[in-house]
Amino acid sequence: MPPAFGCGTIGKTVAGFGSHSLMKTKLAITDLTRMQRGSVCIAGYDKDGICFRPILPPPGIKETSLFVDGQPIIFPFAVVEYDLTYPRPQPPHTEDHDYDATSIRFFRRVRAENRERLLSLSLFESIESIFEQAIHDDWGYYVMDGVGPRSIGTVLPQDIAEVKYEKDTSGKWDYRLRFVDGVGRNYRLKITDLTWHYYCDSLRDEQNQPTEIALSLTQMLQTRKVYLRIGLSRGWAEYPERCYLQVNAIHTFPDYLSGMTFADFRSVG
């Protein structure tokens, strides 16, 4: 069976980048993460199975830059070309690379039959094995900043326990997932998947309340094969030494989006 997107190496990152070209690089996008103030975080894999996170100086990558002429060009399972200019690894965020913001070019979508193989490039049995350091759970789930070989990977959960979709104490919509990883450890993590946010909000109306939507989504995930992309936040003012775990992307087979992208739900909610 040929490798997805021409990839044959499992779970590599840009640490020890060596002589890999810093010129035009096609990435198969796996993650599109919602950040604050209209910004997003992007991650994907090149043809050699190396993970890259293209980054820009503050204010970062704006969601509006995902579109050209009103059409999305950057979304999960898109193959997009970047001119990567300089690596900026800051463990555990070893995948960060500057890029030329004018260089982006959409090529195609990863074929449906290759998508699971793409996700399998970064598949780990447990969440702890992704980050190769202890996961603390005294106040949320986090690892320590400054160490570790990678900041993102994939797991196949043993069990999906519950989707949460409700407002937090500040009145903002909050999206969380309770699940069990491949070695039986329980987690309750914040979902930062941009597509998931828009999809959840598109379902909300007078007939469908958040609690009902959450139950329906729980049942949907429980009946499909689910790949979770688990990533790390950056340190923040109160806890600069902590990188909190989050669900960067949810991919299901069959596809819960039926081939659509975040842009198909963007105007709703």
- The token pair at 179 is 């699940």
What is the CATH topology of the domain spanning 4-116? Answer: OB fold (Dihydrolipoamide Acetyltransferase, E2P) (2.40.50)
- pLDDT by residue for the chain (269 residues), tens digit each? 333 443 334 455 544 333 445 579 999 999 999 998 889 999 999 999 999 999 999 999 999 999 999 999 999 999 999 999 999 999 999 999 999 999 999 999 999 999 999 999 999 999 999 999 999 999 899 999 999 999 999 999 999 999 999 999 899 999 999 999 999 999 999 999 999 999 999 999 878 999 999 999 999 999 999 999 999 999 777 888 999 999 999 999 999 999 999 999 987 44
Residue 233 CA to residue 142 CA, distance in Å, equals 9
Tell me the Cα Rg of the chain: 18
| Domain extent listing, the chain | 4-116, 124-264
Peptide linkage before 72 cis (omega within 30 of 0): no
Cα angle, residue 123 at apex, residues 255 and 20 outer, rounded to 5° = 110
Instruction: 258-266: list long-range contacts, CB under 8 Å, 24+ apart.
Output: 261/72, 261/75, 261/76, 261/195, 262/32, 262/72, 262/75, 262/194, 262/195, 262/198, 262/199, 263/66, 263/67, 263/71, 263/72, 263/75, 265/195, 265/198, 265/199, 265/201, 265/202, 266/198
